[in-house]
Amino acid sequence: MDFGIVPFQMGDNWTINAHVWSATGQDFYKSTREVILVGADGIIFVADAQMNLQDENVASWIELKGISLEADESLPIVVFLNKTDLPNIVNENQLRMVLELDTRVPVFLGVASEGYNVVETFQWLFQQALKASIA
């Protein structure tokens, strides 16, 4: 797993220093993913847009939903569909169908290696987490 602190400017007067943990998708690290979610304020699920990896996306999504529902049913979740610059990829509608995504779960199309839509995905999640903490 990786850890970092990501500062985000929220308006003119607020800076949020988010503690960001990431967990790899290999089965060997399942227990690590469970630990990371303890006390989490939100989740970014990174799905791979490559058509041939949709079974892995589905398996990871099912696992995450099981863990996150145990942790907190109201936890904000956003999906980042990565590698959308490659050929032979799924689109947002196809991903929503295979993951059976609730329409309230936003999907950001992106290319992480180029930073495309990465900041926007974090900003959405931070805004939702902030709203939840105030409510």
**Residue 11 falls inside a structural domain:** no
**Residue 12 falls inside a structural domain:** no
What is the arithmetic mean of pLDDT over 109-115? 97
**Residue 14 falls inside a structural domain:** no
* The predicted structure's pLDDT at residue 38: 80
In order of 13, 43, 67, 87, 117, the CA distances from 126 in angstroms are 15, 10, 21, 31, 14
Expressed as residue numbers, the domain containing 106 is 19-134
End-to-end CA distance of the chain: 31
Phi/psi for 110 (5° steps) reads -160, 175
What residues pair up with 14 in beta bridges, in sequence order? 10
**Residue 55 falls inside a structural domain:** yes
pLDDT digits (tens, 9 = 90+) for 67-95: 776 556 678 999 999 999 999 999 999 99
pTM here is: 0.88
pLDDT digits (tens, 9 = 90+) for 4-44: 898 877 778 888 788 888 877 667 667 777 787 888 889 99
* The predicted structure's pLDDT at residue 82: 98
Cα–Cα distance, 14 to 60 (Å, whole number): 34
Domain count, the chain: 1
**Residue 109 falls inside a structural domain:** yes
pLDDT digits (tens, 9 = 90+) for 47-73: 999 999 999 999 999 988 887 765 566
Q: For residue 135, is pLDDT > 70?
A: no
What is the arithmetic mean of pLDDT over 96-120? 95
* The predicted structure's pLDDT at residue 33: 77
**Residue 110 falls inside a structural domain:** yes
CATH number at residue 125: 3.40.50.300
**Residue 88 falls inside a structural domain:** yes
**Residue 13 falls inside a structural domain:** no
User: Which of 96, 116, 91, 94 is closest to 106 using CA atoms?
Assistant: 96
* The predicted structure's pLDDT at residue 120: 94
DSSP alpha helix (H) spans, 4-117:
30-36, 54-71, 92-99
* The predicted structure's pLDDT at residue 8: 78
Upper half-sphere CA count for residue 109 (Cβ side, 13 Å): 13
Q: For residue 116, is pLDDT > 80?
A: yes
User: Which of 107, 80, 91, 106 is closest to 22 using CA atoms?
Assistant: 80
* The predicted structure's pLDDT at residue 77: 93
Cα–Cα distance, 50 to 88 (Å, whole number): 6
